[in-house]
Amino acid sequence: MAINDTTTTLGDLNSLDRDNFEHMKEKYGNVYKFSNADAAGMCMAKFIDKIVRKSGVKIRPGMDAKRIDRMLASKNVRIEHRVYGEEEELYRSGVFIYDNKEISGFVSNPFYQVSDIDLLPAFYVLVIAKGVTIANIQ
């Protein structure tokens, strides 16, 4: 099945997308733990910035949205924020970053894992990107 084949269905594309996500998660995925949602959200933003910069797009604070869109288009980088329903795993919702139609990174929305023993709250962020770790974003 080719992606541009006339017989390819949306279900086929969904299956390919999920397979690619799982493959990338196994190979490059890291889960980071934070004590509060604000810290997880800030780290999420730093990871997104680092992945986009690896694709050649440098977004500075205060940049106009139209200029950012032009920069992304000129570098053939696309950023998608997807939110899945409760039937999906918690870590699936987040920001997908594509470079030349290939997934170059994913950063999940901060999620809270419910357990039987909740002594201290913990928020998690799943990051999938080659060569991007918490050590090189700070």
Here the tokens at position 24 are 């990338």
Percent of the chain at pLDDT exceeding 90 = 40
Vertex 54 angle, CA 15 and 52, to 5°? 65
Task: Work out the average pLDDT over 53-63.
Answer: 91
Q: How do residues 13-48 score in pLDDT, each as one tens digit?
A: 666 677 777 878 888 899 999 988 899 999 999 999
Is residue 85 packed enough to be buried (19+ CB in 10 Å), middle (13-18) or exposed (0-12)? exposed
Phi, psi dihedral angles at 38 (to 5 degrees): -65, -45
Quickly state the pLDDT bin for 91 (edges 50, 70, 90).
confident
Q: Considering the chain, what is the average pLDDT of its residues? A: 83
- The two three-digit tokens of residue 107, written as one number: 């950063």
Helices (H), the chain: 10-28, 37-54, 65-74
pTM recorded for the entire structure: 0.80
Question: SS3 for 72?
Answer: helix
Phi, psi dihedral angles at 100 (to 5 degrees): 55, 45
pLDDT given for residue 13 in this prediction = 62
The confidence score (pLDDT) of residue 74 equals 94
Say what the pLDDT of residue 64 is. Answer: 92
Q: What is the pLDDT of residues 64-76, one digit of tens each?
A: 999 999 999 999 9
